[in-house]
Amino acid sequence: MIPLDESVLRWLLAAVVVLPLLGALGALLPAPPGLRGRGPEQAVLRHGVTVTGAVLAAAVVLALGFDHDRPGRMQAQTDLSWVPALGVRLHLGVDGISLPLLVLTALLTFLCALYGYFRMPQGPAPKAFVALLLLLESGSLAAFAVLDLVLFFLAFEMVLVPMYFLIARWGGAGRQHAAWKFVLYTLLGSVVMLLGLLVLGLNAGTFDMVRLAEQHGSGLGHGVQVLAALAIGLGLAVKAPMWPLHSWLPDAHTAAPTTGSVLLAGVLLKMGTYGFVRILLPAVPEGAHTFAPYLAAFGVVGIIYGSLACLALARRGAGGDLKRLVAYSSVGHMGFVLLGIATLTRTGVNGALFANIAHGLVTGLLFFLAGALKDRTGTLDLDALAGRTGAALYGRAPRLGGLLAFGAVASLGLPGLAGFWGELLALLGSYDPAPGLSRPAFLVFLALGALGTLLTAAYLLVVVRRVCAGDPAAEPGPRVFAGTVPDVRGHEFAAWTPLVVLTVLAGLWPALLLGLTEPAVQHLLPGVSR
């Protein structure tokens, strides 16, 4: 990898953020006559694939040109005055923490656009669907690229509108209720977060995240830090999602179309945990230290609660929905991310960042698979899929069944796959938390987190056994689909293969990610030795 000139990196990062926004505007315009293909609907879907593909290419070039010898240094910076009266600046940049999230967002959005080109969800015309998808991508990428608190808040809120309409207009049963619940929860959290950001920025004399990280809380009183950490943390916790602020998530995932579920799990949830690492830990260290035990406790409760909810959904006769089960599993997996952050150690925070990426890859794959299963069977009811006349995917669609089993074992944290390292490092961070934190309490959190890994393995293996192999003990039910079961199609293979390859690559070569995040975490947490 040859580092590119800083000016080239600057333009690449700007292109990554701005291109989807321009593409969203272009999607609303009539297609030129020579590019309409078989019709305007195909043209706009192809437009979505083209724009997201260009953004992914720019993100990959940015990652290749990034100076990997200095990932702790902010690179590709653009810093322009925007609102001088408030000191708000158009400040963009990327380091070892944000770079993997940018690439993950660009990849998942491209795969969703590609999948949607061949399997457009039922609903209004594709023009609005593509425009909303690109608007969502632009807001998500901006959230990981901006280095100003006000811009971060605007990007944080920008994704609400497109995700609301993706759920409400292209979702399944209960979509209106799920969409409103998603917006109301996030908006209420955002109002509180905005107050915290203003308290932090006005008292520190700057809204610039780089300067706030360099100051590391100097000049801010303990009370200000605690208040800012509480307000900002509540807003971020809703998006994370932290128990008990998670109840919007299962409904949103169950009702959302496949592409919406993939982006919600793979991208939007990461904004909350990213905000904890980028803003709270370096800018208000005393406030973060005050609330770290509570954050860890809520994270561990989320691990246990999510696993028990999944076990309840997976059992015979419960009528559990596969997408709902994967959604509850996200509550548990993100609990490990919150636990790693709460340790305030480099080990734990690196584990949290690794688990973020692993969750995006694995859970994105699982939601793709759930969508494909729904297309083939018309249902995601686990009892119907597992009945003696149900799917038994191993025998009827072996590749699809094998991919579902692969996603399940990756999600449960099998060594050698991406899900393993993040959870391991989060638990190791709990074994020896930062000075000043109660080690006995964190040892209890470690034990409960380890129990959560066992529960996770239990419910995922139950799902694999019932859906992939069938359930001989189940009562015969109505056939969920007649005739042969289509196995993995060409466009599905193209959309899912990158997720499988990256899941294996991150599991076998964790230094690929940790080599980026470790120097950046060390820069954000000066004085932390482990």
Sign of CA dihedral 459, 462, 467, 472: negative
Mean pLDDT over residues 368-376, rounded? Answer: 87
Say if residue 457 is exposed, middle or buried (CB neighbours under 10 Å; 0-12, 13-18, 19+): middle
**Secondary structure of 246-298 in HEC code, one letter for each residue:** CCHHHHHHHHCCHHHHHHHHHHHHHHHHHHHHHHHHHHCHHHHHHHHHHHHHH
b/e sequence 244-266, b meaning 16+ C-beta within 10 Å: ebbebbbbbbbbbbbbbbbbbbb
Instruction: Tell me what the mean pLDDT of segment 242-263 comes to.
Output: 87
How far apart CA 272 and CA 233 sit, in angstroms, is 9
Return the pLDDT at 390. Answer: 55
Structural contact between residues 209 and 276, judged by C-beta atoms closer than 8 angstroms: no
Burial 349-373 (b: 16+ CB within 10 A, else e): bbbbbbbbbbbbbbbbbbbbbbbbb
Give the 3-state secondary structure of residue 63: helix
pLDDT at 158 over 50: yes
pLDDT digits (tens, 9 = 90+) for 482-495: 556 777 788 888 88
Residues in the chain: 530
Please give the residue that has the higher pLDDT: either 33 or 138.
138
Q: Which residues contact 138 (CB under 8 A, 6 or more apart)?
A: 17, 18, 19, 20, 21, 24, 158
Mean of all residue pLDDT scores within the chain:
86
* C-alpha to C-alpha distance for 469 and 463, rounded to whole angstroms: 10
Q: What is the largest CA-CA distance in the chain?
A: 70
Res 227: pLDDT: 93
> Which residue type does 205 have?
G
400 near 372, Cβ under 8 Å? yes
Q: What is the pLDDT of residue 19?
A: 93
Question: Percentage of the chain with pLDDT > 70?
Answer: 92
Give pLDDT, residue 34.
45
298 C-beta neighbours (distance < 10 Å), count:
23
What confidence score (pLDDT) does residue 218 get?
Answer: 84
DSSP-assigned letters across all residues of 39-50 = -HHHHHHHHHHH
DSSP single-letter state for residue 5: P
Measured CA to CA, the distance from residue 181 to residue 397 in angstroms comes to 36
* Tokens standing for residue 92: 């963009």
pLDDT at position 469 over 80: no
Q: How far apart are CA 250 and CA 323, in angstroms?
A: 8
Q: What pLDDT, on a 0 to 100 scale, did the predictor assign at position 145?
A: 93
Which pLDDT tens digit goes with each residue over 65-112? 888 888 888 888 888 888 887 788 889 999 999 999 999 999 999 999
- Put simply, whether the predicted model's pTM sits higher than 0.75 gets the answer yes
Task: Give the rounded distance of the alpha carbon of 404 from its chain centre.
Answer: 20
pLDDT at 250 over 90: no
Give me 496's structure tokens. 């899912």
* Confidence (pLDDT) at 40: 64
pLDDT digits (tens, 9 = 90+) for 186-214: 888 888 999 999 999 889 888 999 999 88
| Burial of residue 318, with CB atoms counted within 10 A of its CB: 0-12 exposed, 13-18 middle, 19 or more buried | middle
**Mapping DSSP to helix (H, G, I), strand (E, B) and coil, where does residue 379 land?**
coil
Q: Are 295 and 273 in contact (CB under 8 A)?
A: no
Per-residue model confidence (pLDDT) at position 384 = 77
Per cent of the chain over pLDDT 90 is 42
Tens-place pLDDT, residues 6-31:
788 889 999 999 999 999 888 887 65
